Chains A and B, each alone.
Chain A
Amino acid sequence: GAVVSQHPSWVICKSGTSVKIECRSLDFQATTMFWYRQFPKQSLMLMATSNEGSKATYEQGVEKDKFLINHASLTLSTLTVTSAHPEDSSFYICSATSQGANYGYTFGSGTRLTVV
């Protein structure tokens, strides 16, 4: 089946530093990828829609200058959390579809970010 690889699985960084999270579609091309943020015991909050070759579409309230998204190829999208602060600590997860939305979305394994 379709596989979305996400790295790193977890990362601890100091306040003020930047962290890059990668999301790769291993056996299919993904023109669109979604980036979510999930707080403990809560739902998936869509942050942005990443489109290959164009600018990402951010959800209302998500700072595009803080959460930089790049989708340079059909198999790779990256999320960079810039100047991270403790309140950015969360579970970040990406998703894509290999056969179209009607066949469901495949999620990456997620990245647990802790900012100290």
Chain B
Amino acid sequence: GQQVMQIPQYQHVQEGEDFTTYCNSSTTLSNIQWYKQRPGGHPVFLIQLVKSGEVKKQKRLTFQFGEAKKNSSLHITATQTTDVGTYFCAGPRPESGGSYIPTFGRGTSLIVHP
């Protein structure tokens, strides 16, 4: 079945440095979603990418979907302490048919040092 791999598992940065997390799928994805989970909290939906090569921005966050729709990335420019958390990508399970059953990557935990 489909696996969504995400790297790195952890990333320590100094405040102000950039951060990138990568998500790779073994199969072509119809779309990919990104979530953020703060320490002790629950995942919060950030964005969905659908089109091949799509790039979307949310302030300092830039999301990309690969041309082959098998990989995606989230880049944060000039990290702040409020960016601390675990970022997950999620893709639909191929065999879910008409329903969307999300498969989550392992997540990348971002630690920002002031």
Interface on A for B, CB 8 Å cutoff? 32, 34, 41-44, 46, 49, 93, 95, 97, 101-110
Contact = CB atoms under 8 A, between A and B. Distances in A.
Contact of A104 (B33, B41, B107): B33
Contacts of B41: 109-110
A108 B102 CA distance: 16
A103 B100 CA distance: 11
Contacts of B107: 42-43
A32 B99 CA distance: 9
A105 B42 contact: no
B106 interface: yes
A103 B48 contact: yes
A43 B102 contact: no
Given A42-B107, A43-B107, A49-B101, 10 more contacts: A32-B99, A41-B109, A42-B106, A43-B106, A46-B102, A46-B104, A101-B100, A102-B50, A104-B46, A107-B43
What is the size category of the interface that chain B forms with chain A? 20 to 34
Interface of B: 31, 33, 35, 41-48, 50, 88, 92, 99-107, 109
Q: Is chain A's binding surface mostly helix, strand, loop or mixed?
A: mixed
Nearest to A93: B42
Contact of B48 (A93, A95, A104): A104
A41 B106 CA distance: 9
Q: Is chain B's binding surface mostly helix, strand, loop or mixed?
A: strand
B69 to A, nearest CB: 15
A104 B29 CA distance: 15
A109 B45 contact: no
A46 B101 contact: yes
A105 B104 CA distance: 12
Given A44-B88, A44-B104, A107-B42, A102 B31 contact: yes
A29 B102 CA distance: 19
B45 A104 contact: yes
Contacts of A97: 100
Given A32-B99, A102-B31, A108 B105 contact: no
B104 A43 contact: yes
A110 B88 CA distance: 16
